Amino acid sequence: MLDIREEKIGSDCVLSLSGDLTVCNIGQVREKLMELYSTEDHVRVNIAGESSIDFTFFQLMCSAHRTFSSGGKHISFDKTEGCPLDLKKFSLGFSRRSGCSNDKCGNCLWVVKESV
Partner 1 sequence: MSADIHKQAFVTEAGELLEELEHSLMELENTPDDSDLVAKVFRAMHTIKGSGSMFGFDNLAAFVHGIETAYDLVREGKLAVTQEMIENSLKACDVIKEMVADETIDSSGGDAAAIKDFFSALRSGGDAADKPAEKAKESKSSLTTFRVQFKPHEDIFTRGVNVQLLLNEMAELGECKVIAHSENIPYLDELESEKCYVNWDIILTTDKGENAIRDVFIFVEDDCDITITPVAFYDGESSDEHERIGEILVEKGDISRIELEAILAEKKRLGEILVEKGVVPPSAIAAALEEQKHIKEIKAKKIEAEGMTSIRVQSDKLDFLVDLVGELVTVQARLSQTAARKNEPELLKIAEDVERLVWDLRDNTMSIRMLPIGSTFSKFNRLVRDLSHTLGKKIDLVTEGAETELDKTVIEKLNDPLVHLIRNSIDHGLEMPEERKAAGKKETGTITLSARHSGDSVLIQITDDGRGIDPEKVRKKAVEKGLIAETAELTPKEACELILAPGFSTAEAVSNISGRGVGMDVVKKNIEALKGTLDISSEKGSGTVISLKLPLTLAIIDGLLIRVADQFFIIPLAVVEECIELTPKDIANSHGRSIIQVRGDIVPYIKLRELFGIRGDVPEIQQIVVTEIDGRRVGFVTDAVIGDHQTVIKSLGKIFKEVHGVSGASILGDGSVALIIDAVKIYHGIE
Stretch that binds partner 1, among 2-10, 12-20, 40-48, 83-91 (CB under 8 A): 83-91
Binding residue for partner 1, selected from 63, 84, 106, 112, defined by CB under 8 A: 63
Q: State which H helix or E strand residue 74 sits in.
A: strand 74-77
Binding residue for partner 1, selected from 66, 78, 80, 105, defined by CB under 8 A: 66
Selection from 12, 3, 16 nearest residue 80 by Cα: 16
- Whether the CB-CB separation of 61 and 92 falls below 8 Å is answered with no
Instruction: Spell 28-42 as b/e; 16+ CB within 10 A means b.
Output: ebeebbeebbeebeb
Q: Is 77 in the site for partner 1 (CB under 8 A)?
A: no
Q: Is 37 in the site for partner 1 (CB under 8 A)?
A: yes
- Cβ nearer to partner 1, comparing 1 with 10: 1
Binding residue for partner 1, selected from 5, 7, 9, 27, defined by CB under 8 A: 27
Q: Which residues bind partner 1 (CB under 8 A)?
A: 23, 26-27, 29-30, 33-34, 37, 54-56, 58-60, 62-64, 66-67, 70, 88, 90-94, 100-102
